[in-house]
Structure 1
Amino acid sequence: MVTLLQPRSAIVAAWPLREDAQAAAQARDLILEVLTGLYVPRDRVDDAVLMVSELVGNAVMYGDPPFELLLRSLEGELRVEMVDSGTISPAIRATGVESEHGRGLGIVFELSGGRCGWRNTTYATRSGSEGKAVWFIVPTSQMYPP
Structure 2
Amino acid sequence: MPAQEALVSAARHFTAELLDSWSIPRDKRDSAVLIVDELAANAARYGHECMTLQLVLDHHVLHIVVVDSGAGVDRPSHDIAPDEHGRGNGIVGFLAQSTEVRQAPEGREVHACLQWPA
Identify the TM-score tier after normalising by the shorter chain. Answer: 0.7 to 0.9
C-alpha displacement at 1:121, in angstroms? 4.1
C-alpha displacement at 1:37, in angstroms? 0.9
Q: What residue number does 1:55 align with?
A: 39
Percent same amino acid at aligned positions? 34
Q: What residue number does 1:12 align with?
A: none
Q: What residue number does 1:126 align with?
A: none
User: 5+ residue gaps in structure 1?
Assistant: 1-16, 91-96, 123-129
CA contact (8 A) 1:77 1:141 kept: no
TM-score, with structure 1 as normaliser: 0.67
- Residue 108 of structure 1 aligns with an amino acid whose one-letter code is V
Q: Tell me the number of residue pairs that the alignment of Structure 1 and Structure 2 aligns.
A: 112
1:81 paired residue among 40, 58, 65:
65
- Residue 113 of structure 2 aligns with an amino acid whose one-letter code is I
1:69 paired residue among 25, 48, 53:
53
Kindly report which structure 2 residues correspond to 1:1-146, keeping only aligned pairs within 5 A, or say none: 17-74=1-58, 76-88=60-72, 99-113=83-97, 115-121=98-104, 130-142=106-118
SS in 2 for 1:22: helix
Distance in 2 of aligned mates of 1:75 and 1:120: 27
Distance in 2 of aligned mates of 1:52 and 1:40: 15
CA contact (8 A) 1:73 1:79 kept: yes
- Residue 61 of structure 1 aligns with an amino acid whose one-letter code is R
Runs of 4+ in structure 1 off by over 4 angstroms are none
C-alpha displacement at 1:74, in angstroms? 3.9
CA contact (8 A) 2:72 2:103 kept: no
User: 5+ residue gaps in structure 2?
Assistant: 75-80
